[in-house]
Amino acid sequence: MRFEISRVMDTIEQRLTTDVTLAQAVVDLAEVARFVALDGGRPINLLRLGMVVDALSRYLIDAGAMLYPVAGREVLSEAALTSKERMVLGRWADDGLIEVTPVVADRPAEIADFTGLPLIVVRDLPQQAARFPWISDSPERLLRLTPRAGGAVLTPGGEPTPPKDGKERLVVVGKATLPIVPPDPDDPATEKKMAEPAPATDPPPAEQQGGRPDGLQSFTARGSQRFGRTRVVRRRFTRADPSGVGASLMAREWRCKEPDCPAFGASRRIGQPVPRMRAGMPACPRHGDAVKDIGPRPPAFAVAVVVDDLARRRFVVATDHPVRVGKDPKNPDDISVATWLHEAAAAWIAKEHVRLEVESGHLKVTDTSENGTVIWKRSSPDIKEETERIYKKSYQLDGWDSIELYTGVELVVGDHRLQTVVGSEPASVLLDAPTVAMRLVD
Ligand SMILES: [Zn+2]
């Protein structure tokens, strides 16, 4: 059991970051860890963070969705957590995978304001709307977390999800809130879901998921059409423009005077978060001291590996951090796509197929393969596509361009995914150990 919990924690860990380039949503860690209604279990449980990662994956239809958790310092020594959970939290804090701050207060909303990232909430934030008017003016920037049959679902607009039943949905039109319904352990559907073995290689066909409340269903229920594997254009909110203060903060690199600071220390290996504003001064969220401006922040780009129209993994390409992508790159820090390749794709794609780097503020791709790389050129999401094949040469990406290593195996910049497939559901980070998931409802 201990081994399985470790595996689940390791899987969750891969989906956490405080790098503002890589993150896709912000959340108050303790608030969701204490959100008992998610599973009806212990007063605080770190595995609930995995339920949030799963919910974000389903909301974005992105199997590699990355979460930016903020935790109050007191959570690290919370006695109600298991010693294993406290150890894991301490490691995440030291590695900069979660942000630790003495008092959380409106820090998650501040990060959402500075970066434009959506903010995951479990309750209304009326007081914070005074500092951040978008909380009331742009409710789509809030993703409301609600329990669903042993899991969780995110709904834009800050309101709990209406039930899937059409009749009930009509009833709730115009209402602000709905009671939170904890999962019913006697409900056979709940039991089935909890007792399911580790996922098969393919997700079940969409029709078999009928009645299972999940993010995809709420997606289709919101007016999109589905005909088996129908491609649908993405219209979901993914990121707003950063606020003016946020844009200035993210344009600079900052240094905390604590040498080992996981947020703004010199030895941080991933991209920086945004400082906290205290009395008009940028400050370290962890240590409270003013941070020093050490120069312009080097440009960085988030890139998603998209296979069969489902994003599988996100990574960052930065000025000082070029990345090679292929089926078996030599450097373990590079990106391997081997996991997602069928035989023909694996035969075509080179061990190191392309190199991505940032040059003069732009993302540049260089083909290093034997078979070449196709660039899909688009100046806007709607423009007619043109392709160019590059072979042993470079291309500077622009607009909505994407890179194709092989048919169906693409590298896409940021959130520029044009379409996605309903029916290919992202796998759960909790399903590595179904017995652990079952324990959530103990
Ligand atoms: Zn610091």
Determine which helix (DSSP H) or strand (DSSP E) holds 248, and give its type and residue range: helix 244-250
Same-domain check for residues 202 and 323: no
Distance 65 CA to ligand 1 centre (A): 26
Contacts of 8 by beta carbon, 8 Å cutoff, 6+ apart: 47, 50, 429, 430, 432, 433, 436
Same-domain check for residues 202 and 310: no
Q: State the pTM of this model.
A: 0.81
Number of domains in the chain: 3
Same-domain check for residues 165 and 310: no
Kindly state the percentage of the chain with pLDDT values over 70. Answer: 77
Distance 284 CA to ligand 1 centre (A): 5
Kindly state whether residue 221 falls inside one of the protein's structural domains: yes
Taking a 5 Å cut-off on Cβ, the residues next to ion ligand 1 are 256, 258, 261, 284, 286-287
228 pLDDT band, cuts 50/70/90, is very low
Distance 101 CA to ligand 1 centre (A): 9
Same-domain check for residues 281 and 227: no
Task: Determine the pLDDT at residue 385.
Answer: 77
Distance 285 CA to ligand 1 centre (A): 7
Distance 260 CA to ligand 1 centre (A): 8
Same-domain check for residues 54 and 201: yes
How far apart are the C-alpha atoms of 423 and 431, rounded to whole Å?
Answer: 18
How far apart are the C-alpha atoms of 239 and 65, rounded to whole Å?
Answer: 13
Same-domain check for residues 48 and 178: yes
Question: To 10 degrees, what angle do helices 83-94 and 2-13 make?
Answer: 30
Same-domain check for residues 291 and 308: no
Distance 103 CA to ligand 1 centre (A): 14
Same-domain check for residues 184 and 82: yes
Strands 99-101 and 67-72: parallel
CATH for 405: 2.60.200.20
The tokens describing 101, both together, are 């701050």
Average confidence score pLDDT of the chain: 82
Distance 20 CA to ligand 1 centre (A): 16
Kindly state whether residue 142 falls inside one of the protein's structural domains: yes
Kindly state whether residue 421 falls inside one of the protein's structural domains: no
Contacts of 235 by beta carbon, 8 Å cutoff, 6+ apart: none
Residues 38-59 pLDDT 10s:
999 999 999 999 999 999 999 9
Kindly state whether residue 241 falls inside one of the protein's structural domains: no
Kindly state whether residue 199 falls inside one of the protein's structural domains: yes
Kindly state whether residue 220 falls inside one of the protein's structural domains: yes
Instruction: Provide Rg for the chain, Cα atoms.
Output: 22
How far apart are the C-alpha atoms of 69 and 99, rounded to whole Å?
Answer: 6
Distance 278 CA to ligand 1 centre (A): 14
Ranking 265-269, 359-363, 380-384 by mean pLDDT, the lowest is 380-384
Distance 111 CA to ligand 1 centre (A): 16
Distance 291 CA to ligand 1 centre (A): 8
Same-domain check for residues 222 and 318: no
Same-domain check for residues 329 and 280: no
Q: Residue 269, exposed/middle/buried by CB under 10 A (0-12, 13-18, 19+)?
A: exposed
Task: Determine the pLDDT at residue 434.
Answer: 41
Lookup result for tokens 């009930």: 168
Distance 19 CA to ligand 1 centre (A): 15
Kindly state whether residue 204 falls inside one of the protein's structural domains: yes
Kindly state whether residue 246 falls inside one of the protein's structural domains: no
Same-domain check for residues 291 and 304: no
Same-domain check for residues 210 and 315: no
Distance 29 CA to ligand 1 centre (A): 19
Q: Domain range for residue 329?
A: 300-414
